[in-house]
A = this chain, B = another copy of it.
């Protein structure tokens, strides 16, 4: 039931093992659900308890170490054999005294890896301070290496099978945007618009079933649109206000994201001007996003356009996107921003998101694109780029 072929998982693992060599790690103890999925196929909403995948340099298969209750899920979704699945007992769930990471340490000792160099994902949301402390205490002779982004960098160039999933995700989010634009109207409760959008995201399309996006629809209006990450409430959309929609689409944990802005009424001139500048900036930056160019060069192309028009933007204009779990569909590796010298390579995928938040309102425009071998990128999401006017 794994989402990819065994050959694809083998290629991923070979790439990760090569990076381990460079990073000086004999063993990786991974806790990020995206790392677990990427290397083993394991997929479940079980990351509210501790779970790990352990990559050992000279062992063919990684070990999955998780809650006993979740071992059947590992059997169903991963490509691992039974002797690579290690289940821990219920006593170690939400306990004050018994921690699953201590069992991971025990498993490594048992396998004579107590003196190994161990790579850990120091800044992953699912690798807690306590998990690290338990591992360090349980392996006093080991050496620890920060391998936080090691699997993330291995993920950044997508395979044809991954790109097919992202195109499906892009279809889903392009459809969901239509539903959302229709649903947002004066007098409608925010929650009711979001409900329609979420249904569209999860129905998916005839060809691609909708998986849950790693972040929620963001559909704020009016003053709330100036605060980028507020979620919805029962407030109603008002006439003569701006709203934007930032949505994800997901298929088999692969994402595409898309943002558009709508004005409920006759838009003020300054908003029309902003919309035109941002659209020109988007086109210019997309045009610049070619293999061989750096992330910061893409951002510079955008910045030249908006600076000329008298605008500025402090935050990054995009990030690598693909496989992920809540709370983030971004891959936390390359960002389109000043100082990021990552060189674009074919089959990297980015969400270019141009968010312009001012004191009293926000504006967003985005696309998800794939870097191509030659020339301008493949824009996977499809929706007209103009400010949407619902008068």
Contacts and interface: CB of A to CB of B under 8 A. Distances in A.
Contact of A209 (B70, B191, B196): B191
A211 B195 CA distance: 10
A371 B107 CA distance: 41
Interface string A225-238: 01111111110000
Contacts of A332: 94
Contact of A124 (B90, B128, B233): B128
Interface in A103-129: 120, 122-129
A210 interface: yes
Contacts of A43: 230-231
A127, A212, A332 — most chain B CB neighbours (10 Å)? A212
Contact of A132 (B77, B94, B129, B189): B129
Copies of this chain, complex-wide, total 2
Contacts of A170: none
A69 interface: yes
A378 interface: no
B229 A46 contact: yes
A330 B198 contact: no
Contacts of A72: 226-228, 357
A18 B203 CA distance: 49
Q: Which 6 A-B pairs have the closest CB atoms?
A: A209-B234, A129-B132, A73-B227, A48-B328, A123-B130, A195-B202
